A = this chain, B = another copy of it.
Amino acid sequence: MYYIGIDVGGMTIKAGIVDENGKLYIKDAVPTLPERHYSEIVRDMAELCKSIAAKQGIDITEIAGVGMGIPGTINSKAGVITYSNNINFEKVPIVKEFGKYIKCPVYINNDANAAALGEAKFGSGKGSRDVVFVTLGTGVGTGIITEGILLEGKMGAGAEGGHIALKMGGELCSCGKRGCWEAYASATAIIRQTRKAMELHPESLMNAEAEKEGKVSGRTAFNAAKKGDVAAKKVVDNYIKYVAEGIISMVNLFRPDYVLIGGGISNEGDWLMQKIQRRVNRYSFGGHRNPKVYVRKAVLGNDAGIYGAAALAMKK
């Protein structure tokens, strides 16, 4: 059967046709232009769906379901976007609105939740019913699948793992609380940590790396550390501890089969995964008595949003 996954971002709306075996037949994208009224944006989404179906030679009535992954707080049961900062949506009845254009079951969820579902169904967690997905990007996003069920919390306001405590009273987080995991383990956080170390160590290779790149990025400290820079190594070591510490909290709560790591930072790859794995093995509750949790890189990459959104429609 054919499903359409729509990945709604602040810049671009992507959509693709996926089947239940995880085959992606076609994908395309349109600009979001988020300053518009939601009815126009939703109309574009529907047209994008019709257009990819037509290009693929599939009649729109053959689409068994449409899923949408949307940043923000999503009330999946009501089919309403409670609040999405990135696309300026508040209390938008998107499922009803979309139904004006295409008649088929429509499912919505938070984008990190959708990505978690995509990875569990078609990616690094294939075959597992217990997966924690962590994106290390601008923020720290989490999607949690436990016993095959996507954890959403009341009105979709749960699964905000980026805002569990890491160091109570520590760095100020964008959510207004101090010491959240996100304030230490996001790409934004390692950039801040890198800048601070660069100031303290003007001799560090990080300065040259940043100059070469034209900015301080999530890669700066990693690149300098690989070249043997001591100050950069310290930044990276601490950052890995922060990432692992939050993952250990998640492991102690959910004890999944896999913790899958996505987002820009995950491009550091196996080397990073192994370092995190070692700390998870050592510090998770119960030690060797408890079943091992495997830390892996998420593999669906840029298409994770499409796969995940399509998976939302398949799960029912």
A interface list, Cβ under 8 A from B: 73, 82-83, 130, 142, 144, 146-147, 149, 151-155, 157-161, 163-169, 175-177, 179, 181, 241-242, 245-246, 248-249, 252-257, 283, 285-287, 289-291, 293
Of all A-B residue pairs in the complex, the 6 with the closest CB atoms, nearest first, are A153-B255, A158-B255, A164-B249, A157-B290, A157-B255, A160-B252
The complex places the Cα of A112 from the Cα of B95 at a distance, in Å, of: 39
**Which of A163, A168, A254, A293 has the most chain B CB within a 10 Å cutoff?**
A168
Chain B nearest CB, measured from A37 CB (Å): 21
Task: Point out the residue from B152, B165, B248 that lies within 8 Å of A246, measured CB to CB.
Answer: B165
**Given the complex, which residues of B lie within 8 Å of A253, measured CB to CB?**
142, 144, 151, 153, 158-161, 164, 253
Chain B nearest CB, measured from A176 CB (Å): 7
Chain B nearest CB, measured from A135 CB (Å): 15
Q: A73-B289, A253-B158, A283-B176 are in contact. Are A153 and B146 (CB under 8 A)?
A: yes
The complex places the Cα of A246 from the Cα of B252 at a distance, in Å, of: 13
The complex places the Cα of A182 from the Cα of B252 at a distance, in Å, of: 13
**Given the complex, which residues of B lie within 8 Å of A249, measured CB to CB?**
163-165, 249
Q: Assess the B256–A157 pair: CB atoms within 8 A.
A: no
> How many of these chains are in the complex?
2
Q: Assess the B154–A73 pair: CB atoms within 8 A.
A: no
The complex places the Cα of A176 from the Cα of B179 at a distance, in Å, of: 22
Q: Assess the B245–A154 pair: CB atoms within 8 A.
A: no
Q: A146-B151, A286-B73 are in contact. Are A165 and B248 (CB under 8 A)?
A: yes
**Given the complex, which residues of B lie within 8 Å of A153, measured CB to CB?**
130, 146, 253-256
Instruction: Name 16 extra pairs, CB < 8 A, besides A130-B154, A155-B255.
Output: A73-B286, A73-B289, A146-B146, A146-B153, A147-B152, A151-B254, A153-B254, A154-B256, A154-B257, A157-B286, A157-B291, A160-B253, A164-B164, A165-B166, A165-B248, A177-B248
The complex places the Cα of A112 from the Cα of B154 at a distance, in Å, of: 22
Q: Assess the B257–A157 pair: CB atoms within 8 A.
A: no
Q: Assess the A289–B248 pair: CB atoms within 8 A.
A: no
**Given the complex, which residues of B lie within 8 Å of A166, measured CB to CB?**
165, 168
Q: A153-B254, A154-B291, A157-B285 are in contact. Are A165 and B165 (CB under 8 A)?
A: yes
**27 A-B Cβ contacts within 8 A?**
A73-B289, A146-B146, A147-B152, A152-B255, A153-B256, A155-B255, A155-B291, A158-B252, A160-B252, A160-B285, A163-B249, A163-B252, A164-B164, A164-B165, A165-B165, A165-B167, A165-B181, A165-B246, A166-B168, A167-B168, A167-B179, A168-B242, A175-B285, A175-B286, A177-B248, A177-B283, A249-B249
Q: Assess the A289–B82 pair: CB atoms within 8 A.
A: yes
**Given the complex, which residues of B lie within 8 Å of A157, measured CB to CB?**
255, 285-286, 290-291
The complex places the Cα of A214 from the Cα of B151 at a distance, in Å, of: 47
Chain B nearest CB, measured from A225 CB (Å): 21
